[in-house]
Structure 1
């Protein structure tokens, strides 16, 4: 699961359009392949959705997620059509669509939760805004909405076996995790997945957003962080355990945290006394 979180933390999200709509009585279609991910939040009305051959009858306060590539059919009542918030968005991890990697429910009952309604109102307002912070607010709202579905996944979510690019990344990440105290090179890691070193560099960065060396150093600094907080080991002993020279550990730790290892430990111990 730690590897899954590492990979999913590189998710990129972008909203393309959205609105609050009272759909027309003739709204709907049959076996439409969804081009982008769509969120629906139904406020009133009657009708049905068929998502990958599973039928749903949305009720007010129900939140729906229709992933890109999904086959969908839908219709609404002529006398009581749906009133719904909706938005189209993309969500990718490396070269993959996020929802090709996750098994999530299609719907969540939010009947007593006014938060989601307010979030959709803010989402649409910010998407139409020219404000400097608007893109950040849109992304944060979408991430929060998506987290509701991810939290409700009932199985180990990553489906790596059917996606070769993700499976190869996991081979590399598992190797790094097990050999964190050893010296590793791009050439060595690229051989694990039978890639040319230059292509491997591009592949790794496209999947995680950083180079292999930056990723390895980050993992080592995370381990150094834990040892500084939860052990009495000296800086030299921690450096040795991580396979690093003490001056290099100190330099890298300050680069990642803004503190030297000694300052970091002292700050933590002082805060514990307060």
Structure 2
């Protein structure tokens, strides 16, 4: 996947908002069938037995360890095989407007098979337990379980460049992100970036925020910060030289570092290059016994 597409999708899922409406463990009798057009997302994880799903003109077989993600607004018929029961973990969740469109445009798979099936099952158990509890952290634990299940699902999705190329707004922003990465040491203005996207500056800012999740200038500064971190980690260049290479004055780079890491650039380098605490303890222990 192109680095710019990876940046876009990472920022998108960082902003992903969802609310779990229900989660449970169910056992379906042999020959069970049902047909629905839900207005919510469905996650299914098959525990035992086998089942089937008809969705978008295709039939999918479901076996233990299979994880399904079904978007809202589409007719779905499903059931268990005639000769055996089917047990599965499931949840229903709703997400922000616009998420459905992106899921469809990226052509995400309906079914994946996570290699860590025990881990995925434990996440469903944790979600169900949290939903039934009355602790004040209940919603946090439910959301954490859902996000981890979604991460396991997405890591098995083959998000090719072709999937992104058909999305006009992503194509426009892709050109802009590539330009930013190549010109971080220079002055970069919104008008200049808007021209690359063939958009009016005001409209460009709105499109950029919608795709990337922050304003163009905020993104430029974040990329400069990331490059500065890489230079501090991998080179011996002084902080002034690093600041120049990322297009910032020394004092402004220091201010950015303080805002985002709570450290000065020189302190960040010192900590990054320090011997890990565990390794240091091992070194000291070996010295005592030598």
* Fold similarity call, TM over 0.5: yes
What are the superposed Cα offsets for residues 240-265 of structure 1, whole Å, 9 maximum, x if unpaired? Answer: 21222112222222222211112222
Of stretches 153-162 and 180-189 in structure 1, the one that deviates more from structure 2 is: 153-162
Partner Cα distance (1:210, 1:112) in 2: 34
The one of 56, 61, 70 aligned to 1:57: 61
The one of 217, 220, 233 aligned to 1:216: 220
Q: TM-score, normalised by structure 2?
A: 0.79
- Alignment match, 2:26: 21
Partner Cα distance (1:60, 1:66) in 2: 17
Q: Is the 8 A contact 1:13 1:89 kept in 2?
A: no
Q: Which runs of 5+ in 2 are unaligned?
A: 281-290
Partner Cα distance (2:175, 2:49) in 1: 49
User: What does residue range 219-230 of structure 1 map to in structure 2 within 5 Å?
Assistant: 219-230=223-234
What are the superposed Cα offsets for residues 195-216 of structure 1, whole Å, 9 maximum, x if unpaired? Answer: 3322322332232222211111
Post-superposition shift, 1:7? Answer: 1.6
CA distance 1:56–1:261, change in 2 (3 Å) = same
The one of 167, 178, 183 aligned to 1:179: 183
- Alignment match, 2:137: 133
> Larger helix proportion, structure 1 or 2?
2
- Alignment match, 1:114: 118
Residue 2 (str. 1) matches residue 11 (str. 2):
no
Residue 266 (str. 1) matches residue 267 (str. 2):
no
Q: TM-score, normalised by structure 1?
A: 0.83
Give the alignment's Cα RMSD to 1 decimal. 3.0
Post-superposition shift, 1:26? Answer: 5.3
Q: Is the 8 A contact 1:108 1:149 kept in 2?
A: yes
Partner Cα distance (1:205, 1:100) in 2: 21
What are the superposed Cα offsets for residues 110-162 of structure 1, whole Å, 9 maximum, x if unpaired? Answer: 69833222211211232354544333332332232223332223452662222
Q: Is the 8 A contact 2:23 2:91 kept in 1?
A: yes
Partner Cα distance (2:73, 2:137) in 1: 31
Q: Is the 8 A contact 1:47 1:58 kept in 2?
A: yes
Secondary structure (helix, strand or coil) at the match of 2:62 reads: coil
The one of 221, 235, 245 aligned to 2:249: 245
What are the superposed Cα offsets for residues 157-195 of structure 1, whole Å, 9 maximum, x if unpaired? Answer: 662222212222212212211211111122222222233
Partner Cα distance (2:22, 2:134) in 1: 15
Residue 162 (str. 1) matches residue 166 (str. 2):
yes
Secondary structure (helix, strand or coil) at the match of 1:57 reads: strand
Aligned residue pairs total: 272
Partner Cα distance (1:93, 1:121) in 2: 28
Secondary structure (helix, strand or coil) at the match of 2:248 reads: coil
The one of 87, 90, 93 aligned to 1:86: 90
Partner Cα distance (1:112, 1:179) in 2: 42
CA distance 1:240–1:172, change in 2 (3 Å) = same
- Alignment match, 2:43: 39
